[in-house]
Amino acid sequence: MKGRLIVLEGGEGAGKSTHAQFVREWLERSGRRVVLTREPGGTPLAEAIRALVLRGWDEGIDGTTELLLMFAARAAHLQALVRPALDAGQDVVCDRFVDATYAYQGAGRGLREKDIDLLAGLVLKRLRPDLVIVLDIDPAVGAQRVQGRGASNRFDAEALAFQARVRKAYLRRARREPKRYAVIDADRSREAVQADVAHALERLK
Ligand code: TMP
């Protein structure tokens, strides 16, 4: 049996990393072998690209450069880690994937969806996540959480209006394909969110 690709998405401070761990444990308890990874990143080359794309540059970094780096990291990640794992029957749990590109570079930066479609066709070929869990949070609440943990990258620093466009894009994409997406209100206790995440994972059986 081929492995399944399960993706966690959401705005800054939605709790993806915590819940990605939970997804891994849940799948392992149900007898699956699991690889937990993230984008941009997940392999040494893709992590090197991550460092380039998340840091600030005095010369600036335009949307197209950002878009191409995201897909360069994704191509390396798919080739060296994701596809081999899926082919070997392992489930892959990925903290962000291509929906993030539509949300951040598309809705956030204003790049054209059809340009992203083109790169997605080139890099993903026929690969689609089996399930995308969107952890939905009000950007103002998310920003507070991010501040609390002190981490910061170029995207954390974007204005609330940018984060609001990102959020809307995730919700729009989820509405288009309700069978492959689960939108979960992330502004609740960890236990309440986890119960909904577990419910969404039941669909994979
Ligand atoms: P995170 O892993 O801490 O969420 O940080 C990754 C950042 O990269 C996050 O702010 C969203 C951004 N990102 C994009 O802009 N486009 C993408 O395609 C991906 C995967 C992430």
Pocket test for ligand 1, best of 104, 124, 154, 170 (most atoms within 8 A of CB): 104
Q: Which fold does the domain 5-204 belong to in CATH? A: Rossmann fold (3.40.50)
How much is the average pLDDT of 143-156? 78
pLDDT per residue as tens digits for the range 64-101? 999 999 999 999 999 999 999 999 999 999 999 999 99
CB of 40 sitting under 6 A from ligand 1: yes
101 lines ligand 1 (CB under 6 A): yes
User: Is 119 close to ligand 1, i.e. is its CB under 6 Å away?
Assistant: no
How many residues are present in the chain? Answer: 205
pLDDT at 150 over 80: no
Entry pTM: 0.96
- Residue 95 alpha carbon, nearest atom of ligand 1: 2
Smallest CA separation from ligand 1 atom 15, residue: 104
User: Per-domain residue ranges for the chain?
Assistant: 5-204
Residue 162, C-beta contacts closer than 8 angstroms, at least 6 positions apart = 108
Cα 39 to ligand 1 centre (Å)? 7
pLDDT tens track for 27-56: 999 999 999 999 999 999 999 999 999 999
Helix axes 16-29, 190-202, angle to 10 degrees: 50
At residue 158, the pLDDT reads 84
Rg (CA), the chain: 16
Verify whether ligand 1 is closer than 6 Å to residue 96 (CB atom): yes
What is the whole-number distance in angstroms between the Cα of residue 149 and the centre of ligand 1?
A: 17
Task: Characterize 9-47 residue by residue with b for buried, 16 or more Cβ atoms within 10 angstroms of its Cβ, and e for exposed.
Answer: bbbbbbbbeebbebbbebbeeeebebbbbbbbbbbebbe
CA of 1 from ligand 1 middle (Å) equals 30
Work out which ligand 1 atom sits closest to the CA atom of 96.
20
Would the pLDDT of 3 be above 90?
A: yes
